[in-house]
Amino acid sequence: MKPARLKGAVMKKISLLCLILLLNCKSFTQTNYWANLVYFSGCPVNHIPKGITIPDKDRTCREIINAIISGATDTVLNEQFHDSLSGKIYKLLNGGVIKRSAGRYAVTFPVLTGEDRIKLKSVIHAGINEIYPRVDSMITPLKKILGVRSGMTFHFLWSRVIDDCWWDLYNSEFKTREGPPSIAFIVSPPHPLQCGTNFDNTKDDGQIAISWSYNLFDDFFSLPPTSSFYSLAMNMPLPEKDKEFFLTYGLLDSSNKAKIFTYKEDGKLDKLCGDLKKTYVRIINGIFNYKKLSSEFHIPADELFVVMSHEIAYEIFELIGKKNTELYIPILLEKNPGLSFENLVSIRLPDK
């Protein structure tokens, strides 16, 4: 009996030790912060680290970044990545993705997690709680002018109005003509209405806008080239693989009819969007003191502006969504289970 009890006690100690080691090993990587990385292309002032894509291509570097964001000490990093740490750290330091500061490693781009993330939402909510109805009022004229394509109201409010006014809003806030910097940033956990826009020019000097969200797609996949979207809209020949994509994601019907929304530059819809952009800038300008908040969040004011401007819009959409049940939000999976792009893409054609 004694040997059996001794064996059981030893096994319990070994199991407990393994559990502690396992928890210690995973404690700094269980949250995949990197999955929430967002790129913002502002003006030529580029604050994006030159090696920012290293973690995309190197899983261990990505895990190291996640551990650093979680607050891993040098000891923990050495224990967890002892076979490859020095080489990976060198790559990340050389690429400017991390830095050595106050005896610890830190990332060089804005990251808001934990208490800072909670505080950010609280600050923004308090700032826009009284003014969001003024943004809500933009929905009616957009729905009216879109008519039978009123399902695209969210796309136009987000991508063609709000996500296209950062330049003017930044210059109004900071009294410059330079526009906001290009940055990469992480906010975790992400806002449930986090979204973005892929903008690109067409070959005839038009512009395509594609609204997207990580809520709709776990990992925003590679889209067909802009030229194929343009060819589809113009009823021109396009590669078979791109045709299959458009058919799958609702931009082409079974009779080969394109479902991409197009409109003219300087037309009524375009002019309305221009007017609404000016209105949005007036509504948001001056609500937040970015220089003061910069010291609180330890993020440069111009970079904090970029982060907060996006979070402000997401919070506005969340408040509008709770009050205005008529607004169709196709970037949410529960609203768009078929992953249709029909209400997420528009092409502005030049007025020729």
> Tell me: the pLDDT tens digits for 76-122?
999 999 889 999 999 999 999 999 988 899 999 999 999 999 999 99
Residue 108 domain flag: no
Q: Does residue 221 lie within any of the structural domains? A: yes
Residue 218: the pLDDT is: 72
Contact between 186 and 116 under an 8 Å Cβ cutoff? The reply is no
For residue 33, tell me if it sits in a domain: no
Q: What's the domain range around 119?
A: 114-183+191-349
CA dihedral 291, 296, 299, 302 (to 10 degrees): -20
Residue 7 lies in a domain: no
Q: How confident is the model at residue 50 (pLDDT cuts 50, 70, 90)?
A: very high
Domains identified in the chain, total number? 1
In a domain, 20, yes or no: no
Please list, in sequence order, all residues whose beta carbon lies within 8 angstroms of the beta carbon of residue 208, skipping any fewer than 6 positions away.
198, 199, 200, 201, 202, 226, 229, 230, 345, 346, 347, 348
pLDDT at 217: 82
219 pLDDT band, cuts 50/70/90, is low
In a domain, 119, yes or no: yes
**Helix (H) or strand (E) run with residue 85 in it:** helix 85-94
List all residues 6 or more positions away from 123 whose beta carbon is below 8 Å from its beta carbon. 288, 293
Q: What's the sign of the alpha-carbon dihedral 307, 308, 313, 317?
A: positive
Q: Give phi and psi for 119, each to the nearest 5.
A: -65, -40
Q: What are the φ and ψ backbone dihedral angles of 84, each rounded to 5 degrees? A: -135, 5
What are the counts of helices (DSSP H) followed by strands (DSSP E) for the chain? Answer: 15, 9
Sheet holding 196-201, edge to edge: 196-201, 207-212, 345-349, 261-264
Using CB atoms within 10 Å of the CB of residue 207, give its burial: 0 to 12 exposed, 13 to 18 middle, 19+ buried.
middle
pLDDT at 29: 52
